[in-house]
Structure 1
């Protein structure tokens, strides 16, 4: 069985300036009904708006039974989630 995966790569910065574009990519990924690989390895700056968007995305995708692969979340990303006291949603799958 050949599994198709949508890949979304994040650059060094994930902030409110990128949230609009990212939201569109995430909606498209959900609509495709394929597994989704989110590469978080390059993130060096992240803000609350971006984390809120990804948290919400995880919840919505899981409700639709989609597989989310959180590839190599950077230390900065993990630390930001911890500081915000958000459950480690990126480890959910």
Structure 2
């Protein structure tokens, strides 16, 4: 929890910058590692899940907050994000992936 609005804005800016950078790098990696014949399909599926998944989850999240409250729902959400990060760190292929120079 952030006590002052300036600190909240600062945290939001840092999160936005890091999310934007990681999203751009992820998209670039997907485009360079995908077979050119499948690039359109792969990009559309990737875009659907990265941009379309959030709005589809809003009703589920709202219902869960109504049933259990914000703390358990955000705790589970944080755990899912952490598991995704752990999975990415454990993936040797992803850890060693490089963009062409």
- TM-score band (shorter)? under 0.3
Given the two structures, how large is their TM-score scaled by the length of structure 1?
Answer: 0.26
Larger Rg: 2
Larger % of helix: which? 2
